[in-house]
Amino acid sequence: MPLLRNPDKSKLSKRKNPTSINYYRDIGVLPEALLNYLGRMGWSMPDEREVFTLQDMMDNFDIQRVSLGGPIFDVEKLNWLNGQWIKGLTPSQLLDRLLTWKSDRNTLEDIAAAIQPRINLLSEAVNWAGFYFNHMPQITAEMFESKKLTQEQVRQSLQFAIWRLEGQFTWNNDTVSQTLMDLANQMGIKLRDFMPAFFIAIAGSTSSTPVMQSMVTLGPDLTFARLRHALEIVGGPSKKEVKNWEKLNESLKLPKNDATSEV
């Protein structure tokens, strides 16, 4: 089977794209829809219909219909297809899916604990907790403009954080918090100036529940997706910048004397 590719024809990569099954589950893609979509990658039904079940695929599979061209993994197309599956449910079935989708009590308790100090009415929970359930915050480049940081510092802080968090084997409040605090310190940026970009990237606003804990609650898949989305909005690094930034990121981890000699 051919490799999956992005809409720009580049190879699908876990460093740039959400490739974990858990990510698609967490944003609300139905298992049947994802299976349906993957079934269309390099193959098609004889009648060219786009919505079909696994049984439909098994009944109609023909190796001659397999295409060796690089299929495009288009998230917008997946979302559309998922919408077709959702629209095919009865209201009762949809309610069951919604309740199953966010049924992990530990996660819900973490969210409740985060919003509890901030609400006086239960109805206010929607505003404070909404970003935990959204696919991606609605953000713009202007939201990342800072009086304290240059645009390059904002871009680097997001990219360096992604690289460093990707290297963590455990995902908890200690590892996430320490990683971000160390990075801010090594970049010579006060934490209160460093963190707003992460609030916006994760929650879509600087007014939200504590963002480091929010990243833990969301989990690595959703966190990385939001950080990468934010970096794309403010301007991801060029290939040349990536090489230079990788060296800079590594040099920041060294003791100051060693870092100076490296540069």
Active site residues: 14
Torsion angle, alpha carbons of 39, 44, 45, 47, to 10: 150
Sign of the CA dihedral with 75 first, then 76, 77, and 82 last: positive
- C-alpha dist (Å) from residue 5 to 30, 45, 215: 22, 21, 28
By the 8 A CB rule, do 165 and 224 touch?
yes
String of b and e for 208-230 (b: at least 16 CB within 10 Å)?
bbebbbbbbbbebbbbbbbbbbb
